[in-house]
Homo-oligomer: A and B are copies of this chain.
Amino acid sequence: MCSHSRRSTTRTGRPRSAEADAAILDATRAALVELGWSKLTMGDVATRAGVAKTTLYRRWAGKNELVVDAVAVLFDELELPDRGSLAADVEGVVLQFAALLERPEARTALMAVVAESTRDEPLRERIRVSIVDRQKRLVLEGRERAQARGELPTESDPVAAARTADLIFDVIAGAVVHRALVSCEPVDEDWVRRFTAVLLGGLGATAREA
């Protein structure tokens, strides 16, 4: 999460303010809510945070990196509560994700940084580490829990297992994001139930074939 690598050799001089870091990220989220991605400016964030622009640029290379860090923390709130069955777990986490996408700071920032990342490999990596992998972790946890319950067989081939997890992740995350941000329709319980039924039904069908 921390973007700044200190010179490991000598650490003399005034240390950076930890308060400033927090104030900047808070200000960034507040600005995202008020202004949205495209009208958010570095100068405005600095002013809101009561900080000089220099202080901001000393820590982040630009708007993209700053916003990724500012919204990344939102994805830490996602967790996989044990609801007793795979279907219930999936429905639960999808609803959580949908709730996150209702928040204006996530809504406006997520697609924007992904769009920027199509031409910026370091940014892509940063998004992967800060955001994508945190979501994917939930898929892996959910599978382990389902296997422990006996709802899913233990996959012997680790490569195939990883490929399947990736597929599931793209299907879940992609469908929810598309529903919420492109189709702009509510991700409500009814939709989630029908989506989960298709997903798990499909997984069961392909498992039976193999």
Contact = CB atoms under 8 A, between A and B. Distances in A.
Contacts of A104: 118
B201 A206 contact: yes
A167 B195 contact: yes
A174 interface: yes
A80 interface: no
A116 to B, nearest CB: 6
A30 to B, nearest CB: 15
Contacts of A171: 171, 174-175, 178, 195, 198
B175 A194 contact: no
B179 A174 contact: yes
Contacts of A124: 184
Contact of A36 (B118, B174, B194): B118
A202 B200 CA distance: 7
Interface in A167-201: 167, 169-171, 173-179, 181-185, 191, 194-195, 197-201
A14 to B, nearest CB: 11
A32 to B, nearest CB: 10
Interface in A100-137: 104, 107-108, 110-112, 114-116, 118-119, 124, 127-128, 132
Contact of A198 (B128, B184, B199): B199
| A interface, size bucket | 35 or more
Contact of A177 (B107, B169, B174, B195): B174
A37 interface: yes
Given A112-B116, A166-B183, 14 more contacts: A37-B115, A112-B112, A128-B184, A163-B194, A167-B194, A170-B175, A170-B182, A171-B171, A171-B178, A174-B177, A177-B178, A198-B205, A201-B202, A201-B204
A64 to B, nearest CB: 9
A116 B198 contact: no
